Amino acid sequence: MKTLKNKIALVTGGSRGIGAAIVKRLAKDGATVTFTYVKGKAAAQALEKELLAEGLIVQGVQADNAVAGELGQVIETLIKTHGAFDILVNSAGIYIGKAIEEHVLEDYDQIFAVNVRSVVESCLAAAKHMNSSGRIINIGSNMAQRLPFAQGTLYAMSKSALIGLTKGLARDLGPKGITVNLVQPGSVNTDMNPENSGHADYQRSLMAIPKFGRPRHIADMVAFLAQPEADYSTGALFTIDGGSNS
């Protein structure tokens, strides 16, 4: 069933991993999806080709969330084309893992430019141009609330910022019928965090269900929150981590 038919969606960081799974799911649910990518042009083109062959409506656009204004240009074009949009998924993110003594302020700038500032930029645009009954879904991390290992301080800090942003926006945009929620993945098998890495066994030891999630687990939650039936869920945190934070 095409539950998102005639809905216009924007997914940042959509060429691979969790982002690509979200693009696929929203498109298969009937949405017209624009997604951004930075360097993964081949992956973005392959995703486009796959979904277009299924008769779905998708478009990949190269934009670096770390560069001020690039995401804004994508949103401006989207609005000029469609007039407004209905679904925003902020999936783009970066992780720079270092001992705290090795970090420099440029690491902070880069992490926060992608993980926080670009999310604020897209959410501000959504506040102005999103249709009533719109959906904003931010992708955070379970590390925002529990960091069981070292070398993730700045990343965890950036994802913690999304909690405050999500809750505040839920209050601001609720009267317009726009919901704002935060999905917090744990260990998901992607090229950024493969289930066969040297750190994987330790991650599994933290879980109540000791196995890595799949990108579809996150995409399924995003798809639910994007549905019309999710109109009473807002300002909420949905942690999908196999019980790591339980």
Tokens of 91: 């999936």
Whether 71 and 115 have beta carbons less than 8 Å apart is answered as: no
**155 classed as catalytic:** yes
- Running DSSP on this structure, what letter comes out for residue 175? G
Residue 223 CA to residue 93 CA, distance in Å, equals: 19
Q: Measuring CA to CA, which residue among 225, 224, 218 is closest to residue 239?
A: 218
Neighbouring CB atoms inside 10 A of 95's CB total: 18
Helix or strand (DSSP H, E) at 213: none
Q: Measuring CA to CA, which residue among 82, 90, 220 is closest to residue 165?
A: 90
First-residue to last-residue Cα distance in the chain:
34
Whether 204 and 212 have beta carbons less than 8 Å apart is answered as: yes
Total H helices, total E strands in the chain = 8, 7
Of the candidates 37, 95, 108, 155, the residue annotated as catalytic is: 155
Tokens of 74: 């994508």
Residue 237 CA to residue 215 CA, distance in Å, equals: 18
| β-bridge mates for residue 94, sequence order | none
Q: Measured between alpha carbons, how far is residue 144 from residues 32, 188, 200, 237 in Å?
A: 31, 16, 19, 11
Positions annotated as catalytic residues are 155
